[in-house]
A and B are shown apart, each in its own frame.
Chain A
Amino acid sequence: MKDSKKAYNYARFGYFFSIPFVIGYIIFSLYPILYTFTVAFSDLKGLTTREYHILWDDLFKNFKTVLGLATFKTSIANTIKIWVLNFIPQMLLALLIASWFTDRRSKIKGQGFFKVVFYMPNIITAATVAILFNSLFGYPKGPVNDFLLLIGAVDKDHLINFAIKKTAAQNIVVFIQTWMWYGQTAIVLMAGILGISPELFEAAEVDGANQWQTFWRITIPNIKTIMLFTLITSLIGGLNMFDIPYSYLAGGPDNATLTAAVFIYNQAFAGAYMYARAAAASIIMFVIICILSAITFYLMRDKEAAALRKIEKEARKKFKAKQSVAGKGV
C-alpha cells in the first residue's frame, strides 16, 4: 500500500522529465512534418512568398505533377539502382571480413588495425569525400588518369573524362558509398557473430561440420536480426542519399547521379523554389520508404517462429473446441 502511494507521488516526475523532449519534438519535427503535408497540397512557390492556398479543386495536383515528371522518375530509378549496387557488395565484403575476423580456428593478426582503417572513411565528412574523389578522378590531370597512364591502360590522347560519362559517374558514387560503409557493416556483423553462444560452434565442430557448413547453418541464421537491422538502416539512409551525389557532380552528368533527395533539394532550394512540388516529392519518398521497410520486415521475418506460433494457435483452438464439447457433454 505504502509502495503504490510512493509510486503515485513520483509518477509526475516521469512526465516532467519527458516534457523537454516532447516540446522539442513538437516544435522541430512534428510541426514541420505537418507543415510539409500542408504545403504538399498547396500552391506554395517562390522565394519570398509566405501566402499559400490549399488546392481544394484538385487536391493531388502536386503529386500528379511530380509523378509525371521524367526527372523525378529518373531520380527514383537512380536512387534505387545506386543503393542496390552499393548494398550487395558492401554486405558481401562485410560478411567475408566478419567471418574471417571471428574465425575460431585461425586467428587473424592485426584485426584492431584493420578495423580502424576500414571504418575510417565512414567518419570523414561525406561532402569532403565526394569532392576528394572528384579531384582524384580529375580530367585531364588527376591521380586516377595518371595511374591508368602509368600502367598503360590508356594513352595520352585518350584520357578518361569521368565527369561527363554517365555510367562512370554512377559507378563512382556506388564505389564511394560501398567504400564508406563496408567497414561499419563488418564491425556490426562481427559484434553479432561474437554474440552467438560459443557452445553452438563447439557443437558444430564436434559434429564434424566444416567452416562452410558452420557459416551457413549457424552464423547466418543467428545474425539474421542484425542483418535485417543493417538492411533497414541502409535502405532508409540509401533512399535519402544526398551528400555524395550532391557534392560529387550535383546530380550530373545528364541527371545520372540525380537521387530523389537531390531532386527535392533542386526543386525547393536551387533556383526553382517549387516548395509545393518538393513537399509532394518528399511525401512520396516517405511512403516508398515505409512500403519497402514493411516488405523487408515481412520477407525477413522469422518464418519458423511464425509457423510455430500458428501451430500453437491451432492447438489452442482445438483444445478449446474440445473443452467446449466436453463441457456440453457434461
Chain B
Amino acid sequence: MAVNNKNTVDIVEKKPKSVLIKHTFIYIICIFLSILSILPFWLMIVNATRNTIQIQASSISLIPSHYLSFNWKVFNGKDFNPGVGFINSLTIAAGATVLALYFSSLTAYAQIAYEWKLKNAFFSFIMAVMMVPGQVTMIGFYQMCFRFGLTNNRLLLILPAIAAPSMVFFMRQYLQPALSMEIVHSARIDGAKEFYIFNNIVLPIMKPAIATQAIFSFVGNWNNLFTPLVLLTQPKKYTMPIMVTLLRGDIYKTELGSIYLGLTLTVLPLIIVYLALSRYIIAGVALGSVKG
C-alpha cells in the first residue's frame, strides 16, 4: 500500500511539464478538428447571405451580408423548391419513423414476453437479414413498384419501415432487462387484453429506447437519397436530398449565393434538431455500439 502511494506521488510530481505539453498538443488537434467540422457549414451559411459578385470577389468571408431574400427569389419557378421538399421529407421521415418505432417495439415484445416454438429461429432470421444491404433489393423493389404502377407513391417510402430488423434488435436488447413480467401478469389478472397491455404498459416502459431510435430513424429517413431518387420522378414529390442534387445543375451555376442558400435550407432543420438533442444523440451513438 505504501509503495502504491509512493508511486502515485511520483506520478503527480512528474505531471506538470510532460502533461502540459501533451495537453497542449491534444487541445491543438481537437480545436483544429472542430474548425474543420464547423468551417464548411459556417462558410455555407454566410455565403447564403451574399450575392454572386461578393462571392466572386472573395468566397471566404465570416461575416454575413444582406442578400438573403435576393438569393431566395432565384428559386422562384424552378424545380428546387425548399418548401415542397421540406413537406415531402417531413411526411416521409415522420411516417416511416412512427411505423418503424411501433412495429419494431411490437416485434421485440413478442420476443421477450412470450414463449413460442419459432421464437429463436425468428430472432436468428432477424439477425441474418440485418446484414443484407439495401442495394440488393433495389432493382426488384423498383420493378415491383413499376409493375403495380406505384412509382411516385410516397407510401412506398413509408410502409417498408414496418420491418426494420436492426431496430427490432435494439428494442429487444433494451426490453429484455427493462420489462418485468410481473407487471404483465398482474395486468392480466386485472383482465387486461394482451394488445392493451402492450399499448398501455409496455410502450411507456420503452420510452427512452423509443426516443433514441426516433432520432436516428428520423434523421436516417430524412437523409435517404437512394430510394427516393429511384422511385420519385415528379418534381413536386421530391424530397430534400433529391432537391439538393438539383443544385449542381447548370441553371444555378451563375447564382452562387443561391446554391449556398439552398444547401443551408436543406440542413437547417437537421442542425436545429442536432443542437437541441445533441446530448441524447451522442449518448445514443455510444449505446447503440455497446449493445450491438
Interface residues of A (CB under 8 A from B): 7, 10-18, 20-25, 28-29, 31-39, 44, 50, 97, 100, 105-106, 108, 110, 112-121, 123-129, 131-136, 138, 141-143, 146-147, 150, 179, 183-184, 187-188, 190-192, 195, 205-206, 208, 226, 229-230, 236, 239-240, 242-243, 246-247, 250, 261, 264-265, 268-269, 275, 278-279, 282-283, 285-286, 289, 293
Contact, CB under 8 Å: B114 / A124: no
Q: Which of the residues B140, B146, B168, B274 comes within 8 Å of A120, measured between beta carbons?
A: B274
How distant is the Cα of A22 from the Cα of B162 in the complex, in angstroms?
Answer: 9
Contact, CB under 8 Å: B144 / A35: yes
**28 interchain pairs, CB-CB under 8 A:** A10-B113, A13-B194, A15-B110, A17-B107, A20-B106, A24-B163, A25-B165, A32-B143, A36-B139, A38-B140, A39-B143, A97-B30, A108-B27, A112-B279, A117-B37, A120-B271, A126-B241, A132-B41, A132-B263, A141-B56, A142-B59, A179-B36, A183-B37, A206-B4, A226-B289, A242-B135, A268-B230, A285-B136
Question: Interface residues of B: mostly helix, strand, loop or mixed?
Answer: helix
Q: In the complex, what's the smallest C-beta–C-beta distance from B141 to chain A, in angstroms?
A: 4
B93-123 to A contact mask, C-beta < 8 Å, 1/0 = 0000000000110110111011111110010
| Chain A residue, CB-CB nearest to B89 | A125
Taking CB atoms and an 8 Å cut-off, the chain B residues in 1-24 that contact chain A are: 4, 7, 11, 15, 19, 22-23
Q: Which of the residues A21, A114, A286 comes within 8 Å of B133, measured between beta carbons?
A: A286
On whether A125 and B244 interact (CB within 8 A), knowing A20-B162, A105-B11, A191-B286, the answer reads yes
B226 at the interface (CB under 8 A from A): yes
Contact, CB under 8 Å: B122 / A18: yes
Contact, CB under 8 Å: B286 / A247: no
Contact, CB under 8 Å: B59 / A18: no
Contact, CB under 8 Å: B133 / A44: no
Q: Which of the residues A36, A115, A183 comes within 8 Å of B137, measured between beta carbons?
A: A36
Contact, CB under 8 Å: A21 / B58: no
How distant is the Cα of A126 from the Cα of B60 in the complex, in angstroms?
Answer: 23
Question: Interface residues of A: mostly helix, strand, loop or mixed?
Answer: helix
Contact, CB under 8 Å: B116 / A11: yes
How distant is the Cα of A126 from the Cα of B244 in the complex, in angstroms?
Answer: 10
Q: In the complex, what's the smallest C-beta–C-beta distance from B122 to chain A, in angstroms?
A: 6
How distant is the Cα of A128 from the Cα of B163 in the complex, in angstroms?
Answer: 28
Contact, CB under 8 Å: B30 / A114: yes
Contact, CB under 8 Å: A21 / B286: no
| Chain A residue, CB-CB nearest to B20 | A106
| Chain A residue, CB-CB nearest to B223 | A125
| Chain A residue, CB-CB nearest to B147 | A50
B258-274 to A contact mask, C-beta < 8 Å, 1/0 = 01100100110011001
How distant is the Cα of A240 from the Cα of B198 in the complex, in angstroms?
Answer: 37
| Additional 6 contacts, C-beta under 8 A, given A15-B110, A278-B139 | A16-B110, A35-B143, A123-B274, A125-B240, A131-B248, A229-B292
Contact, CB under 8 Å: B259 / A135: yes
| Chain A residue, CB-CB nearest to B133 | A240
How distant is the Cα of A146 from the Cα of B147 in the complex, in angstroms?
Answer: 51
Q: Which 10 A-B pairs have the closest CB atoms?
A: A35-B140, A24-B162, A14-B114, A32-B140, A14-B116, A24-B163, A191-B286, A17-B110, A36-B140, A28-B160
On whether A269 and B230 interact (CB within 8 A), knowing A118-B34, A247-B225, A289-B133, the answer reads yes
Contacts of A286 in B (CB 8 A): 132-133, 135-136
B187 at the interface (CB under 8 A from A): no
Contact, CB under 8 Å: A127 / B270: no
Contacts of B251 in A (CB 8 A): none
| Chain B residue, CB-CB nearest to A278 | B139
**Could you say which of A132, A195, A275 has the most chain B C-beta atoms within 10 Å of its C-beta?**
A132
Contact, CB under 8 Å: B110 / A128: no
Contact, CB under 8 Å: A18 / B266: no
How distant is the Cα of A7 from the Cα of B159 in the complex, in angstroms?
Answer: 32
Contact, CB under 8 Å: B278 / A116: yes
Contact, CB under 8 Å: A135 / B141: no
Contact, CB under 8 Å: A127 / B225: yes
| Chain A residue, CB-CB nearest to B58 | A146
How distant is the Cα of A110 from the Cα of B30 in the complex, in angstroms?
Answer: 10
Q: In the complex, what's the smallest C-beta–C-beta distance from B57 to chain A, in angstroms?
A: 9
How distant is the Cα of A13 from the Cα of B184 in the complex, in angstroms?
Answer: 13
Q: Which of the residues B4, B58, B241, B278 comes within 8 Å of A128, measured between beta carbons?
A: B241
Taking CB atoms and an 8 Å cut-off, the chain B residues in 153-171 that contact chain A are: 159-160, 162-163, 165, 168
B214 at the interface (CB under 8 A from A): no
Contact, CB under 8 Å: B139 / A39: yes
Q: In the complex, what's the smallest C-beta–C-beta distance from A162 to chain B, in angstroms?
A: 14
Contact, CB under 8 Å: B137 / A32: yes
Contact, CB under 8 Å: A21 / B168: yes
Q: Which of the residues B19, B103, B226, B256 comes within 8 Å of A24, measured between beta carbons?
A: B103
How distant is the Cα of A183 from the Cα of B37 in the complex, in angstroms?
Answer: 10
